[in-house]
Chain A
Amino acid sequence: MSSAETTSASAGSRGSARHAQLAKAIADVREGAALWPLWGMLGWNDILQRYRRSLLGPLWLTASMAIMVVSLGVIYAQIFKIEIDDFMPFLCVGLLVWNFISLILGEAGTLFAGSASYIKQIRLPYSVYVFRFLWSKVIIFAHNFVIYFGILLYFRIWPGATAALALPAFALLVFNGACVSLYLGLVSARFRDVPQIVQSITQIVLFVTPIMWKPQLLTRYNFLMTFNPFYHLIEVVRAPLLGELPSWHNVVAVGLITAFNAALAGMIFARFRARISYWV
């Protein structure tokens, strides 16, 4: 809630109207970021709410993820006839990052539609809902990430200083997540079958992306990997955590993906921000 503001919809020519829209979208993001105590608390609360009155609380996230990593690791190492010390860390990091991505894709559709009661009752910057959403996903990721340390200890591996590169890579991933959830949430508020489309695509992506199988196993149809944005997004985080450097292909691809997402999110948000309250 700002102290002095003027809202105008039909001011001047088309060009200046666009400019005003963009300025308002930027102001929205800035004001939203400043409200971090609010979305920080609401995001935490979203997690706690789900596990309240359970003994383990949010650690259930860690527990169920750990069971999945271990059981899939044991079975797939057998199927692919790979050393388990090699496969398990790979699978673990891949699944952790994938879990983060798929949660964002799966729930982005309800980002604004699910907050209708807030949007209709109080004027908050719309970016607050995006920050809240992403923050809760980062918290879930952090809970799951404990498993990574367990794997490191169990298999006595040490990624070395390279692992620090995972931090900026993860930051990029979060930024992409913010952009994607922003435009998916917005479009889904208007077209209610977008979430269904996204969900069915997400299911396929898990299997066509090298998460449960190693990239080297794909000898033909390499383009399936080269043109799979999820592969690059996962690889830039996964490689450093396994003590390797991502290839320059990966880095360039992630740069392009980020630029694309940022441009699309910026355009859609600037253009349709004011319509959100009418759509939800």
Chain B
Amino acid sequence: MTPMTQPVLALDRVTVSFPVYLGGSRSLKKRLLSQGSAGRIARDANDRVIVDALHEVSLALESGERLALIGANGAGKTTLLRVMAGIYEPVSGTVAVRGRISPMFDIGLGIDVDLSGYDNIRIRGMLLGLSSAQIEQCLPDIAEFTELGDYLEMPVRTYSSGMMLRLTFAVATCFEPEILLMDEWILAGDTHFMAKARARIDAFVEKASVLVLASHNLEVCRKWCNRGVWLQRGEIRAFGEIEDVIDDYSAASA
């Protein structure tokens, strides 16, 4: 790698393991008892299962690269996204990021149903790191996209689920992403909105300098991504051009 082409997102031998606390070991009593008495109870406190969610994952993405994470359930796709987002700090290995991360995992994050639509947009904007001035600037655009009109003055509690989706979707896609991390989510809504949502998400994804998408839908991966990673049990099985990786993956799972 030459110093000229510095990767925007680089993972170097990242390992993540989760301690799974099975009831007992989460309690201080068990912990203290196990220190005081050897044997039976000590084993009880040690029923700590460690799940290796990611094992020595290394990859680097440069500007313009769009990566699809492919793999079966539990392969570590979501964990990998969260490591990239800085939510999980790896047990070993390094994550280097150059640019602002825009995670889009749960589009309903921070929604307070007792607040008005406008106030929810403001909270969401702040969570994404926008200043009040930037949010006020985005407000008309978001309001127009949602087509909710005067409903935006009403508490979100009164919204139907479709209206809620419009709101959250508009807010989540309102500012330009740099490094966009997306977990697969199913778009549900009326057909008119779906078409609009697709157009918006296309434009949104276009703006990102790097995209990482975790999805089961190979069509979506083909459409949006040019690179692919096939994860299996927390390890990289294949990493390369999207078509090659999809071919490998399909061949293996067929």
Tell whether B240 is near chain A: CB-to-CB under 8 Å. Answer: no
A102–B95 alpha-carbon span in the complex (Å): 41
Q: Determine if B92 and A123 form an interchain contact, defined as CB atoms under 8 angstroms apart.
A: no
Q: Determine if A190 and B87 form an interchain contact, defined as CB atoms under 8 angstroms apart.
A: no
Tell whether A82 is near chain B: CB-to-CB under 8 Å. Answer: no
Q: Determine if A192 and B114 form an interchain contact, defined as CB atoms under 8 angstroms apart.
A: no
Contacts of A9 in B (CB 8 A): 89-94
Q: Which of B54-112 contact A (CB under 8 A)?
A: 82, 85-101, 103, 105-106, 109-110, 112
- One of A112-120, A141-149, A211-219, A263-271 contacting the partner: A112-120
Contacts of A194 in B (CB 8 A): 28
Closest 5 CB pairs of A and B: A123-B86, A274-B89, A191-B28, A10-B92, A8-B94
| Contacts A4-B98, A118-B110, A278-B18 supplied; 6 other A-B pairs, CB < 8 Å | A7-B94, A8-B94, A45-B123, A117-B109, A118-B109, A123-B103
Q: Which of B9-32 contact A (CB under 8 A)?
A: 18-19, 26-29, 31
Q: Determine if B26 and A122 form an interchain contact, defined as CB atoms under 8 angstroms apart.
A: no
- One of A34-42, A71-79, A92-100, A254-262 contacting the partner: A34-42
Contacts of A121 in B (CB 8 A): 87, 103, 105-106, 109
Interface size class of B (residues with CB under 8 A): 35 or more
Residue ranges of B at the interface with A (Cβ–Cβ < 8 Å): 18-19, 26-29, 31, 82, 85-101, 103, 105-106, 109-110, 112, 114-115, 122-123, 126-127, 129, 131-132
A104-134 interface mask toward B, CB cutoff 8 Å, 1 = contact, 0 = none?
0000000000000111111110000000000
A117–B90 alpha-carbon span in the complex (Å): 20
Q: Which of A153-190 contact B (CB under 8 A)?
A: 190
Q: Determine if B96 and A10 form an interchain contact, defined as CB atoms under 8 angstroms apart.
A: no
Q: Determine if B87 and A119 form an interchain contact, defined as CB atoms under 8 angstroms apart.
A: yes
Interface size class of A (residues with CB under 8 A): 35 or more
Contacts of B92 in A (CB 8 A): 9-10
Q: Check A41/B123 contact, CB under 8 A, given A49-B114, A123-B85, A190-B26.
A: yes
A8–B11 alpha-carbon span in the complex (Å): 10
A127–B136 alpha-carbon span in the complex (Å): 26
Report 14 cross-chain contacts, Cβ distance below 8 Å, ordered by A residue: A1-B100, A1-B129, A4-B98, A5-B86, A7-B95, A8-B93, A9-B92, A10-B92, A11-B94, A53-B114, A119-B87, A120-B105, A122-B87, A123-B101
